[in-house]
Every structure is written in C-alpha cells, then in structure tokens.
C-alpha cells in the first residue's frame, strides 16, 4: 500500500539573485548563515509525501497481499521456527518519533504468528559489523510490549564474530563466501523488517548483509566495488548492489525469506524546526526568530551539550509505504517510493558543489561525528546522492562545512582512532590500506572483544568508511572544508580549508582556473537525490 | 618477510580478578603453625592501607616491601602451594573474556608473553593453563636452608623494568613492537603499555583510563565471570555451614574444651600482633 501522490518539484531548484536571502548551511552541531554569489543554484528536498493514516492496517494489508508469494498466514505452520531480522539504529536518521515503524510492524507480525500457533520466535537486530545497540535503544525501537515478551533471550543483537553461530552456506560464482547467522539459516521462515531510508538500503542487503560476517562483507565492501558504483544510491548502476544481489541468490537458496519493507517520507523536522527545510526567501518573521534563537543557543553550548540535545530530537517521519513478500519484487516497489520522495531533476552538473555536514550520519547515532565520518558523509554519501550523472562534474571542487574537531567516541569508534591517526598519515591509498592493514584490524582481538561485548563498531569498520569515499575522492579535484577548527585533521584527510564560504569559493575557482565556475548548494538534510540531465 | 609480533599480558587484574595480596593471603592462610597463620593474616590486614598507598606511589617499592612478607616461608612449600593456589583459587578467577582474547591473539600470530609482577610459582601454573609459553615474573631469594629471605632477585618486574625487559626481548628475538600488543589494568603498567604500538587497557583504574582515553587506546571492560562470583558465594556458604556444624558438634560434645581453645586462639592473635609490633619497632 503506497501513498500515490508525487510532490511537485517546481520549487526544489532555486537560482539566487542579488536580492536573495542568506542561506542556512549545516555545520556539525550548529549552522552557518552565508550569502552565496549571484547565480548559485540551490537544490532543496522535495516536500514530504503524504503519510499513511494507519500503519498497522497497511502492514496487515501488505502481509495479506504480498508480492511474489502466498500471504504470510499461508506460510505459517504451528510449531515452526521463525527468526525476525530488524534494521539497527543506523536507520532512520535521526531516529523517528515513537512508535518506530519497526515496532508497528513487529506488533502486527508477532500477533499473526501467535494466532497461527507459531511461538518459537527470535528477533535479531541485524547489525552486521555495526555497533551493538544498547537495551534502551532496542527497547525504544521495538516498543515495550515486544521488549517485555522477547528480551533478552529471544531479542538480541547479531554477533558476526560468534564463530559457533555463523554458518558458511555457500560460495557465489565469483568466489564470494556467504557466511550467515545460524538463526537466519536454521529458521523455517526468516522475516525481515526493513526501514528503507535511502535506495541503498533493503533488498538483498537486508539479510545478505545484516546477518553476515566479515568474510562475506569483504566481497563488496572494498575500494574496487565502490569505485565502480556510480552511484551506490542507484542500484541499477551500482556494482555494490550487483555483488550483494549475487550473494542474495545464494542466501535465498538456503534461507526462506519473507521481506517486509517500509518507506518513510522526508519530514525530518517537526513544526518547530520546519523552517530548516524551507527556502530562506520564504521565511516568515517567526521562522527568522526561531532560527536566530536556535543558532544563538547552539553557539553558546559546548559541543557535548549540543550533541546531547540534537540526538534527542526525533524526526517526524511518516510511513509512506509497506510492501511485503519475496525480496526482489518487494524491493522494486520500495525503490519507486524512494525515488518518488527524494529525486529532484537538475539540469547540468556543477563545477563547485557546496554542502553542509550535519551532526549525524548512519554511524554515529547517540555518538560523535568524528572526522572519518565527516569524510564518509561528504565523499561517500553526499557525493553519491545522484542517479545517472554525478551532480559534481569530474574534477570539480566540493566545499563542505564542518568544525572538523579531532574528537572520537572511544567506546563506539575505537579502531577509527588508530586508523585515522596511525594509518592515514602513512597513506590515503585505499588499496594499500586494504592490502596492508585491513586484515590486522578486522582480526584484532581487542577490537573484536569491544565489538562483541561492548558497543564498538567492528575493527574493520573505519576501512569501510574510507572506501565509501573512494568514488568521491577519485572524481573530485579538491575538497575544501569551511570552518575547520583543526588544521591537522584536514591535512590527514587531504583537504584544504577556508574560514568562510567566500574564501572557499575563491580557492575553488582559482583551483579550477575558472572565475565563472558554476556553484550548486545542496540544501540538505532532509535527504534529496539528483537526477542530472 | 612476515612481521613478528608479540602480545604481552599483565596477570593480576588483567587476566584474572585479584592482586598479589590475594596470593599471599592464600599462603598465609595455609601456614602450618596457627600463630604463624594468625600473625601473617593480621599483619597483612593491618598493613593493607599502607600497601595500597605505596602501590599508588611506586609499584617497585610496593613489590620490595610487600614481598618481604614472604620471609621465612620455605621454597618447596611455596612451589607446591603455587599449584594449589591456582587450582583452588586462581583458575576460577580467570576472566572468561580473556580466554577468548588469548585464543584470538594466538590465531593472529602473536608470540604470547605473560609479564607480571606476581611471583614465578604463582604465574607458572596460570601460564601453563592458558597455553602461554613465555613467563616473566618476580623471583624470591632463598637462604641455603631453603627459607625465603623476603628479598626479590633482580630484575624486579614492576613499572619501567617491564618496559626495559620488553625492549631487550623484542630486540633479541626480532619482534616488531610497533605492531605488538600489551594488556594491563593499572597505571603502574603505563611504561609496559607505552612500549608497544597497540596498547589495550583492561578494566583500567581511573588513572589508566584517563591516559587510555587521551591517547585513544582501546579500553576493554571484562566483567568478573558470573560463574566465579557464583562459585565463590557458594563456597563461602558451604564453608560457613561446615564451620557452624563443627562448632555445634564440638560444643555439644566438649563444651569447656572449646571455650579453652577459643581463649587460646585469642591469645595467639594477641601474641601475633605483639610480634608484628616488635618487628616494626
């Protein structure tokens, strides 16, 4: 069941003139307000799709009329063993207000399973090599009812390093080993509850990545795959998707999967912060006052307090679609809903792309946006937010805004610190890093211990964050960080710095040897993707 | 050529729960003479705050002063009791998480070294159980009659001496310290941790935690294994029950004798305290 209306894109692309207002740009846990040169093109996210009025009803409808298979109730037999995989805290961003969509889906699904005599149910947070979620985080995500019934023995985090419970199920034609969680493989039915925030999510990635371990991730989380993915947000042109799909075929041979995918609209801000998604030329006096108050407050607070505040503000996302059934047909529909929400048609590439970097990315929920994550967000995610042609032309300059503090969460990102301060100063070459150091970090006993029993990202995760930017690094002539407070951090990343947007634009035009180089400002988040013609 | 790396482990507080004081208490508790037993236990109890204080200031001085308590214990007995200490006490105190970590270190190709300020006859059985072939621990000096003098034989493994030993050992055997790893729980082991490229703080004290955080070292929190606490509680309850049963039986059979023995025991305690006081003077 999908909301049918596609919002108008008329006002998504704005060209600034002399009378245009200053634009607001994300700057870590704060904001910059800058005047851009005349002729700058600003791209805004499309307005939010209409949310479904009754999510549980939509879930019931999807389960009863699935894509490519019998209704869920027809697949159930009393006494069968069911494993339910759910996406982790990296989705959605920011966390959505409660009830989380996973809670609503789980409550419907668990009731249905019980009705048909299925009580051997295990729910697993399919986090792959991400950090383990805390009990409080899981409880918030699944809701108190599911938590009370299943935690902790039948609701827990996936552990890719639990060698006794990881099973090698097969090898692809390209010699990719497929190793999955025993709970997924040995279940009579594996249900997966997904939150498809961006087109990269979902599909075969849900089970094939969420339940896998390092050996399987190696097959596609590597510099070569990322460099060939143009972009990894466009599955049709993504080598990453191709490889994951190849693994997915093996997974499907061994796991009986029933997928439930959900899509959200992009209503990231509630009424109070809604002005942040608006064209600044249309701001009212109230918007102006609200922004000034917010900026004043955030500027006065220390970074830690700002983070604590911002991570507590949930998004007002509405559910726009629920599709269930076999993985491929379900995901096709999900992707359509994603394009409908995020895509903005844009004419022509940009010479200079400007983007603010917010306080949050998929890997720092309730944590710190460290320099490696800033890099991943800029050159990994934001550079790749296109379908077809990249928004930034080959060799163009990317200007980002972030304080770039040398600040790390020691319990969430321990291996990032060593990667950044020990390996990157030696080389920024992804292939060399992969060859020389990836295995050492992946198998490091201390990092494995912190991943398994603490709340740390796996030891190999910082490598992926670096590979994620491979395409962006290869195709971007230069990156300039505006407002960087730590020069050394920028040097390690290989970036130039500037104090103001004006200075950055000057440096970019000088680098391109073109005083008229075109400028495009990506006014996000909320998420948007470009269709460049 | 493949890089040769080593993993260095501190023992007490890192691989297992407890400290060198616990080891001594076991030896004191099993002293064959009752007065000797009481004296050693009482002495340790009284000196505990002082030991804590000098350990905070200087681990080397602590080792010198604390190991003086072993004076008068026989070498043979200590060797035998070292095995018993492991079987009865230490084995249960090994952190479950450390067993897994040691296994992964071995798989990663690290040459494993137990580098501890504990005594050799205490460390050897632990290392043997864990499959660690190289053990470097403190050694006591003995007189010709086999009794311990209470003096440590050099080099005394504490603080910077551990780091010196690591440097020389790595140089001699071609280990690359930049990619070697060390695990410790106490700020006194900062020199040891600083010698390697990949230091890890395990259940660190406040000072080590602060240093680890400021240097971005990994910090592992391994909880005392549940089975150990459960076993210890069960053992304590059983011991208590057994003691109560024996006292009850004894009282029923020979009431006045028990009273005399109790008075005698109190006399021994007083004598032990007097001996300790005289020794300190």
* Contact list, A422 vs chain B (CB under 8 Å): 197
B249 with B115, same domain: the answer is no
Give A450 to chain B, closest Cα distance, Å.
6
B219 interfaces chain A, CB cutoff of 8 Å: yes
Examine residue B23 and state whether it is found in any structural domain, yes or no: yes
Whether B26 and B114 share a structural domain: yes
Closest approach of B264 to chain A, Cα-based (Å): 52
- With an 8 Å Cβ cutoff, is B109 touching chain A? no
B74 within some domain: yes
Asked if residue B110 and residue B158 are part of one domain, the reply reads yes
Asked if A418 is an interface residue toward chain B (Cβ–Cβ < 8 A), one would say: yes
3-state DSSP call for residue A430?
A: helix
A80-129 pLDDT, tens digit per residue, is: 999 999 999 999 999 999 999 999 999 999 999 999 999 999 999 999 99
User: What CATH architecture applies to the domain A55-264?
Assistant: 3-Layer(aba) Sandwich (3.40)
Q: Mind giving me the DSSP string for B89-139?
A: IIHHHB-HHHHHHHHHHHHTTPEEEEEEEEEHHHHHHHHHHHT--EEEEEE
* Chain A touched by B214 (CB under 8 Å): no
CA–CA dist A268, A451 (Å, integer): 30
Q: pLDDT tens across B63-101, in order?
A: 888 888 888 888 998 899 889 999 999 999 999 889 999
The total number of structural domains in chain B stands at 2
For residues B265 and B212, membership in a common domain is answered with no
Same-domain pairing of B130 and B180? yes
Question: pLDDT tens track of chain A, all 533 residues?
Answer: 444 456 677 789 999 999 999 999 999 999 999 999 999 999 999 999 999 999 999 999 999 999 999 999 999 999 999 999 999 999 999 999 999 999 999 999 999 999 999 999 999 999 999 999 999 999 999 999 999 999 999 999 999 999 999 999 999 999 999 999 999 999 999 999 999 999 999 999 999 999 999 999 999 999 999 999 999 999 999 999 999 999 999 999 999 999 999 999 999 998 889 999 999 999 999 999 999 999 999 999 999 999 999 999 999 999 999 999 999 999 999 999 999 999 999 999 999 999 999 999 999 999 999 999 999 999 999 999 999 999 999 999 999 999 999 999 999 999 999 999 999 999 999 999 999 999 999 999 999 999 999 999 999 999 999 999 999 999 999 999 999 999 999 999 999 999 999 999 999 999 999 999 999 999 999 999 999 99
| A157 strand-pairing partners | A125
B260 and B246 inside one domain = yes
Residue from A449, A452, A455, A489 whose CB has the most chain B CBs within 10 Å, to mutate: A449
Q: How far is B194 from chain A (nearest CA, A)?
A: 15
**DSSP secondary structure string for all residues of B171-231:** HHHT--GGG-EEEESSGGGHHHHHTSSEEEEES--HHHHHHHHHHT--EE--PPPHHHHHH
Residues B143, B208 within the same domain: yes
Question: Three-class SS of residue A504?
Answer: helix
Going from N- to C-terminal start, the domains of chain A cover: 13-48+343-532, 55-264
Task: Give the residue among A456, A466, A450, A311 at the shortest CA–CA distance from A373.
Answer: A466
Please name the member of A411, A440, A448 whose beta carbon is closest to the beta carbon of B104. A448
The CA-atom distances, in angstroms, between A14 and each of A267, A396, A519 are 20, 21, 12
Nearest by CB to A445, from B108, B212, B216: name it.
B108
* B37 or B193, which is more confident: B193
The pLDDT score that the predictor gives to residue B280 is 43
**CA B29 – CA B21 distance, rounded (Å):** 12
Is B27 within the bounds of a domain?
A: yes
pLDDT value for A2 = 46
A410 chain-B contacts, CB cut-off 8 A: 212-213, 216, 219
Same domain, B240 and B169: no
Contacts of A440 in chain B (CB under 8 A): 108, 179
Look at residue B201 and tell me whether its pLDDT is greater than 80: yes
The verdict on B180 and B253 lying in the same domain is no
pLDDT value, residue B281: 35
Facing residue for A447 by CB, picked from B216, B218, B221: B218
Q: Which residues of B touch A453 (CB under 8 A)?
A: 97, 220-222
Q: Assign B260 a pLDDT band (cuts: 50, 70, 90).
A: low
Which residues of B are less than 8 Å from A445 in CB distance? 100-101, 104-105, 108, 181
**CB-count exposure of residue A192 (10 Å: 0-12, 13-18, 19+):** buried
Residue B169 maps to a domain: yes
* Residue B1 falls inside a structural domain: no
- What's CA B135's distance to the chain center, in Å? 14
Residue B185 belongs to domain with CATH number: 3.40.50.1000
Range of the domain at B191: 6-224
Contact A411 B219 (CB under 8 A): yes
**Tens digits of per-residue pLDDT, B216-248?**
999 999 875 545 555 556 656 666 766 676 677
Reported for A198-202, long-range contacts at CB under 8 A and 24+ positions apart, including other chains, are: A198/A233, A198/A338, A198/A342, A198/A527, A199/A233, A199/A234, A199/A235, A199/A335, A199/A338, A199/A339, A199/A342, A199/A529, A200/A232, A200/A233, A200/A235, A200/A238, A200/A240, A200/A241, A201/A87, A201/A91, A202/A259, A202/A261, A202/A331, A202/A334
Instruction: Examine the domain organization and report whether B47 and B149 are in the same domain.
Output: yes
CATH architecture of A13-48+343-532: Alpha-Beta Complex (3.90)
Flag whether residue A422 sits within 8 Å of chain B, measured between CB atoms: yes
Question: Residue A450: closest CA among chain B residues belongs to which residue?
Answer: B220
Calculate the CA dihedral of residues B79, B81, B84, B85 and round it to 10 degrees. -100
Pairwise CA distance, residues A136 & A142, whole Å: 10
Does residue B244 share a domain with residue B201? no
Cβ neighbours of B200 in A, within 8 Å:
446
| CA distance between the termini of chain B | 62
Q: What pLDDT shows up at residue A4?
A: 44
């Amino acid at each position: 069941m999908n909301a049918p209306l596609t919002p108008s894109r008329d006002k998504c692309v704005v060209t600034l003139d002399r009378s245009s207002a200053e634009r607001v740009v994300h700057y870590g846990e704060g904001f910059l307000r800058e005047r851009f040169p005349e002729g700058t093109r600003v791209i805004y996210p499309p307005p939010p799709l209409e949310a479904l009025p009754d999510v549980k009803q939509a879930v019931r409808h999807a389960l009863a009329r699935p894509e490519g298979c019998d209704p869920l109730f027809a697949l159930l037999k009393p006494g069968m063993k069911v494993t339910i995989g759910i996406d982790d805290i990296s989705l959605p961003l920011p966390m959505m207000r409660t009830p989380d969509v996973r809670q609503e889906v789980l409550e419907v699904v668990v009731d249905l399973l019980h009705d048909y005599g299925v009580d051997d149910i295990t729910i697993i947070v399919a986090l792959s090599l991400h950090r383990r979620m805390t009990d409080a985080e899981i409880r918030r995500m699944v809701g108190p009812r599911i938590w009370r019934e299943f935690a902790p023995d039948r609701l827990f985090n996936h552990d890719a390093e639990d060698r006794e419970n990881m099973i090698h199920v097969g090898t692809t034609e390209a010699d990719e080993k497929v190793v999955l969680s025993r709970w997924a493989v040995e279940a009579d039915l594996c249900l997966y509850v997904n939150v498809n925030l961006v087109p990269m999510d979902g599909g075969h990635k849900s089970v094939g990545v969420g339940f896998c371990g390092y050996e399987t991730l190696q097959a596609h989380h590597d510099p070569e795959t990322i460099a060939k993915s143009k972009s990894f947000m466009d599955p049709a042109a993504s080598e990453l998707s191709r490889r994951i799909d190849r693994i997915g075929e093996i997974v499907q041979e061994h796991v009986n999967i029933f997928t439930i995918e959900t899509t959200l609209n992009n209503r990231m801000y509630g009424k109070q912060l809604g002005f942040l998604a608006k064209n600044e030329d249309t701001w009212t006096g109230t918007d102006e006052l609200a922004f000034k108050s917010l900026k004043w407050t955030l500027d006065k607070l220390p970074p830690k307090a700002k983070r604590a505040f911002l991570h507590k503000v949930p998004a007002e996302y509405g559910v726009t679609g629920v599709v269930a059934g076999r993985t491929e047909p379900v995901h096709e529909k999900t992707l359509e809903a994603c394009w409908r929400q995020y895509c903005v048609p844009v004419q022509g590439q940009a010479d200079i792309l400007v983007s603010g970097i917010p306080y949050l990315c998929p890997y720092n929920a309730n944590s710190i946006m460290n320099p490696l994550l800033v890099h991943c967000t800029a050159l990994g995610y934001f550079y790749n937010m296109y379908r077809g042609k990249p928004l930034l032309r080959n060799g163009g300059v990317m200007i980002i805004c972030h304080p770039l503090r040398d600040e790390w969460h020691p319990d969430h990102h321990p291996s990032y610190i060593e990667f950044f301060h020990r390996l990157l100063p030696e080389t920024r070459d992804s292939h060399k890093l992969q060859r020389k150091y990836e295995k050492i970090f992946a198998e490091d006993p201390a990092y494995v211990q912190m991943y398994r029993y603490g709340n740390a990202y796996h030891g190999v995760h910082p490598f992926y964050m670096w590979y994620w930017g491979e395409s962006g690094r290869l195709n971007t002539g230069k990156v300039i960080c505006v407002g960087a407070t730590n020069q050394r951090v920028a040097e390690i990343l290989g970036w130039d710095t500037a104090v103001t947007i004006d200075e950055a634009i000057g440096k970019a035009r000088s680098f391109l040897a073109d005083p008229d180089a075109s400028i495009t400002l990506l006014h996000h988040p909320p998420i948007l993707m470009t269709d460049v013609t | 050529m493949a890089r040769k790396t080593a993993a260095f482990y501190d023992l007490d507080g890192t691989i297992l729960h407890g400290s060198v004081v616990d080891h001594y208490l076991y030896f004191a508790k099993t002293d064959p003479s009752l007065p000797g037993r009481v004296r050693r236990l009482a002495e340790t109890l009284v000196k505990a705050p002082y030991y804590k204080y000098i350990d905070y200031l200087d681990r080397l001085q602590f080792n010198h002063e604390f190991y003086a308590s072993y004076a008068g214990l026989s070498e043979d007995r200590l060797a035998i009791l070292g095995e018993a200490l492991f079987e009865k006490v230490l084995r249960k105190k090994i952190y479950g998480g450390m067993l897994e970590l040691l296994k992964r270190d071995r798989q990663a190709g690290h040459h494993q070294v137990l580098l501890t300020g504990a005594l050799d006859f205490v460390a050897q059985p632990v290392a043997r159980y864990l499959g660690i072939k190289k053990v470097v621990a403190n050694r006591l000096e003995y007189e010709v009659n086999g009794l311990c003098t209470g003096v440590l034989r050099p080099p005394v493994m504490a603080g910077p001496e551990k780091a010196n030993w690591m440097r020389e050992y790595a140089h001699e055997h071609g280990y690359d310290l930049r990619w070697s790893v060390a695990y410790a729980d106490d700020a006194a082991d900062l020199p040891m941790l600083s010698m390697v490229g990949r230091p890890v703080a395990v259940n660190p004290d406040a000072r080590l935690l602060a240093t680890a955080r400021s240097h971005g070292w990994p910090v592992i929190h391994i909880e005392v294994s549940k089975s150990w606490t459960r076993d210890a509680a069960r053992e304590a309850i059983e011991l208590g029950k057994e003691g109560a049963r024996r006292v009850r039986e004894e009282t029923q059979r020979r009431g006045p004798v028990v009273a005399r023995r109790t008075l005698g025991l109190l006399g021994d305690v007083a004598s032990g305290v007097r001996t300790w006081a005289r020794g300190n003077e």
